[in-house]
Chains A and B, each alone.
Chain A
Amino acid sequence: MSDSATVADHNPALQHHFADMEQQQQAATMGMWVFLITEIMFFGGMFLAYMVYRYMYYAAFVAGSQAMDFWYGTINTIVLICSSLTMALAVRASQVGQRKALVALLIVTMLFGCAFMGIKAIEYTGHWRDHQFPGASFHFEGPDPQHIEIFFSLYWAMTGFHALHMLIGIVVVGFITFYAWRGRYGPDYHNPVENVGLYWHFVDIVWIYLYPLLYLISHKHTG
């Protein structure tokens, strides 16, 4: 373990209350993972609600799912998976100290994120126009519109909170990009890049579940 007393070892990024960089890095990583499990529980509440109502009103959920646009959902899934790849490569670039590659990959990641948000916005506009937003103006042709309204309530809540997380992710990646451009990160210090990466991948995973649950409830089966 490095002795922080020697000048050569003392990294300017080392905060005073840590003994060495290793302790600081391990604390940061662990803190991020603990934060991510709070996020699991946050979304978990909505997934429980989804599960309960899908169990109670399966037919309405199938009908609601069929009103989703298959292509928007699928393309957005692909966009997010690509953004996860560029994010993983960005973290790698920071580990090996390739500043230009790091900045470029972070920017590409942000662009993918913006693409996702753009497609989501188009999709939301369509649902809004078609009176598929819960509340007084909600309207749905076909049997059981009430329970389909619950499906749409969950749809808006789950994708809405997911989109909020995307937005926060894009902003944070923006800050990290700025500091990366200034050359703050390298092989010795790249916790912030790693942590924002972990966050980004987590948000991706949430979508990986939302996609089949909202868009792909058995298209043929109507029981």
Chain B
Amino acid sequence: MAAIPLPGAEHENYLNKEYGIRSWLLTTDHKRIALLYLLSITFFFFIGGFFALLIRLELLTPAGDLVQADTYNKLFTMHGQVMVFFFLIPAVPAVLGNFLIPIMIGAKDLAFPRINLLSWYIFIIGGCFMLYTILTGGADTGWTFYTPLSTSFLDTHVVAAAVAIFIAGFSSILTGLNFIVTVHRMRAPGMTWSRLPLFVWANYATSIIQVLGTPVLAITLALVALERLFHFGIFDPQKGGDPLLFQHLFWFYSHPAVYIMILPGMGVVSEIVACFSRKRVFGYKFMALAVIAIAVFGFLVWAHHMFVAGISLYAALVFSLLSYLVAVPSAIKVFNWTATMYKGSISYTTPMLYAFGFIGLFTMGGLTGLFLAALGLDVHVTDTYFVIAHFHYIMVGGMVMAYIGGLHFWWPKISGRMYPESWGRLAALTIFIGFNLTFFPQFILGYLGMPRRYWQYSPEYQVLNVLSTAGSTILAVGYVLPMVYFLWSMRYGKVADENPWGAAGLEWMTASPPPTFNFDETPEVTWEAYNYGEAKEVPVER
């Protein structure tokens, strides 16, 4: 069924089939496109990270001494826009999802390979607009583009930033569209819905959000651009327009967008936890339903971002109650991962360390989210560092952890080489420590009342801010480490066989790296997902 590489001989695979820049830029192979995305988003990750470090550096002291207030506004705006739209949203879907979904369901490629390549080019065009925005002085609207600040009062490159995100949005839509059709129409014989890996389910749920939410963001940003360029009055209070309408439209996408960022991470964690606990994921059906439920409920809660903005009290009550709904499927996920590990034979490999990190940090981020969904408490902590800490626990503690964990888990498949395990564990630990040191103090800062988006603060907050800045330095080192040893391993790493983890799943039944069409013969699936029967030790160097 699967091609077993002859020992010592290089088999033909997607990496060595063709060489040269053309074979990459004109490829329609989902695996190569995944690598193109990997390179692009890593680039943007470091740009966004650079802005983050500048922000933390400015906040080292209470006075506004490193940068001016205007510059600071640009820093957090560019940090947010780059990280959200050019790293987090494409991260797991466009890299790991692109690489793995066709292999996991036993297909030769995504349903629309050329659209897949097109989506990368669209992403790059959007990215160029973003870079143009950054290089010509940036925008300072905050990543949220709130009107009328963004439409009537600012003199920065708001339109360029909006265009960048508008364009990148279409790349996201096309990826989602491709995944939905692929999962429906391209599954191998025997790969029923109840046999799909949870990673595929999670990406499927994500795609639903991308397809239904992103267009609303697109039209909203288009209207903002029309207001700036031609003075349309749709969100302009001077003409009787309602700025809250902008917020409704914006958050209709941007709240579910949080689930675009976290759901695929949940998929990654399900795979890792099952593999390194040597057990079938506990409550598979509930896990699958939970991701779909999160995707649907995620669309019903957006106005909890607007509690203090002046929406109707009665609507706020409804949105507050609906927000609690999301906690139910999220809790199901956390409980079921824990139950999967219970009495499993757990091995503490690098990916598993990231999965542990994800579960803990996501739980903290999720629970503090409930604070914010509570109508009364939100009034106290909204627009403080409490919010910042909360969503960084979800996005960085959750999603980035899962993304890097997933990269380690599937690196042998992607590159055909093993990464150095001890360095991997060291980096995982560094990231975990750095992350908590950066963001835990921000919960306290927020609770004490330090508002977000200011370049100065009262001196009594300095100790916690110094801790946070110190943590961010450690975090930065933690992020550079994997990049270095991944590159190193591509040449010097131990050659990986087709299933170095002894993991279940179709992707482990083809060669590492896989051949261009993934399988020499279309597989026929006769087994359930996660068929970890008898527990065997994971072959890992200690």
Q: Interface on A for B, CB 8 Å cutoff?
A: 15-17, 19, 23, 26-27, 30-31, 34-35, 37-39, 41-46, 48-49, 52-53, 56-57, 133-136, 146-147, 149-150, 153-154, 156-157, 161
Contacts and interface: CB of A to CB of B under 8 A. Distances in A.
A45 B231 contact: no
A146 B240 contact: yes
Contacts of A48: 245, 248-249
Contacts of B108: 16-17
Nearest to B109: A17
B234 A153 contact: yes
Contacts of A147: 239-240
Nearest to A137: B231
Given A34-B177, A157-B223, 5 more contacts: A17-B113, A27-B185, A41-B213, A150-B234, A150-B239
B181 A30 contact: yes
A134 B215 contact: no
B177 A35 contact: yes
A150 B240 contact: yes
A39 B215 CA distance: 7
B231 A136 contact: yes
Most buried by B among A37, A52, A134, A135: A134
Given A38-B211, A150-B234, A31 B181 contact: yes
Most buried by B among A26, A45, A135: A45
Contacts of A154: 234
B420 to A, nearest CB: 35
24 contacts: A17-B107, A17-B110, A23-B186, A27-B186, A30-B181, A31-B111, A31-B115, A34-B180, A37-B212, A38-B212, A44-B216, A45-B216, A48-B249, A134-B230, A134-B232, A135-B232, A146-B233, A146-B239, A146-B240, A147-B239, A147-B240, A153-B226, A154-B234, A157-B222
Interface in B204-232: 211-216, 218-220, 222-223, 226, 230-232
Contacts of A38: 173, 177, 211-212, 214-215
Interface in B319-338: none
Given A26-B185, A157-B232, A42 B223 contact: no
B46 interface: no
A31 B248 CA distance: 28
A167 to B, nearest CB: 16
Majority SS of interface residues in chain A? helix
Nearest to B113: A17
B219 to A, nearest CB: 4
B111 A27 contact: yes
B219 A149 contact: no
Contacts of B248: 48
A56 B112 CA distance: 44
A45 B215 contact: yes
Contacts, number: 114
Interface string B282-295: 00000000000000
A135 B230 contact: yes
Contacts of A146: 233, 239-240
How large, as a class, is the contact surface on chain B? 35 or more
A124 to B, nearest CB: 13
Interface in B247-262: 248-249, 252
B211 A37 contact: yes
Interface string B78-111: 0000000000000000000000000000011111
A156 B232 contact: yes
Given A134-B233, A136-B231, A45 B220 contact: yes
Contact of B177 (A31, A43, A153): A31
B211 A34 contact: yes
A136 B232 CA distance: 10
B383 interface: no
Contact of A49 (B178, B245, B252, B517): B245
Sorted nearest first, the 5 A-B pairs with minimum C-beta distance are A45-B219, A42-B215, A135-B231, A17-B108, A17-B109
Contacts of B234: 49, 53, 150, 153-154, 157
Contacts of B173: 38
Contacts of A39: 215
Contact of B181 (A34, A135, A156): A34
A133 B230 CA distance: 9
Contacts of A133: 230
A19 B248 CA distance: 44
A48 B107 CA distance: 40
Contacts of B233: 134, 146, 149-150, 153
B185 A23 contact: yes
A24 to B, nearest CB: 9
Contact of B232 (A16, A42, A153): A153
B522 interface: yes
A84 to B, nearest CB: 23
Contacts of B109: 17
B517 A17 contact: yes
Nearest to B248: A48
Contact of A57 (B107, B113, B219, B240): B240
B184 interface: yes
B242 interface: yes
Contacts of A15: 113
A42 B223 CA distance: 11
Contacts of B214: 38
